[in-house]
């Protein structure tokens, strides 16, 4: 089970990113099929190496395919915190079942 903290509410992705940065989430994570990448793709974390501490879901007002989720992610093993933005709907990246399970919002 993830250790997802009580989180504030934001109207925009920009507000969420600013707040996460202020909380120390400074790495820029990118999603790959079976891991998340950082440091321009030079380093990676598998699903069992990171924890989702915060998430913020944003839905497009006029287009349901225009959805984003902003994740605040940490890794105790690598002693890093960062942000992953993931588009859903028709713009979603193909990812593994393990990554789907890890990033699923319940």
* Interval 54-58 mean pLDDT: 89
50 inside domain: yes
What mean pLDDT comes out for the span 20-46? 94
Q: Please report whether residue 59 resides in a domain.
A: yes
* pLDDT confidence tier of residue 1, bands split at 50, 70 and 90: very low
Q: Is the pLDDT of residue 73 over 60?
A: yes
Instruction: Indicate whether 7 belongs to any domain.
Output: no
Q: What's the number of domains the chain is made of?
A: 1
| pLDDT confidence of residue 65 | 54
18-26 contacts, C-beta under 8 A, 24 or more apart: 20/54, 20/70, 20/72, 20/83, 21/83, 23/54, 23/72, 23/81, 24/81, 25/54, 25/72, 25/73, 25/74, 25/81, 25/82, 25/83, 26/81, 26/82
Domain that holds residue 38: 13-103
pTM of the model: 0.80
Residue 84 lies in a domain: yes
Best-predicted range by mean pLDDT among 7-21, 57-71, 78-92? 7-21
Cβ-in-10-Å burial (0-12, 13-18, 19+) of 68 comes to middle
Residue 78 lies inside a defined structural domain of this protein: yes
Residue 48 lies in a domain: yes
Residue 3 lies in a domain: no
In a domain, 72, yes or no: yes
């Amino acid at each position: 089970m993830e250790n997802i903290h009580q989180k504030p509410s934001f109207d925009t992705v920009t507000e969420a990113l600013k707040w996460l940065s202020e909380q120390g989430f400074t790495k820029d994570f990118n999603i790959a099929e079976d891991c998340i990448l950082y440091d321009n793709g030079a380093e990676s974390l598998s699903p069992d190496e990171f924890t989702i501490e915060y998430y913020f879901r944003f839905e497009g007002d006029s287009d349901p395919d225009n959805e984003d989720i902003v994740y605040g992610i940490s890794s105790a093993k690598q002693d890093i915190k960062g942000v992953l933005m993931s588009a859903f709907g028709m713009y979603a990246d193909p990812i593994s079942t393990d990554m789907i399970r890890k990033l699923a919002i319940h």
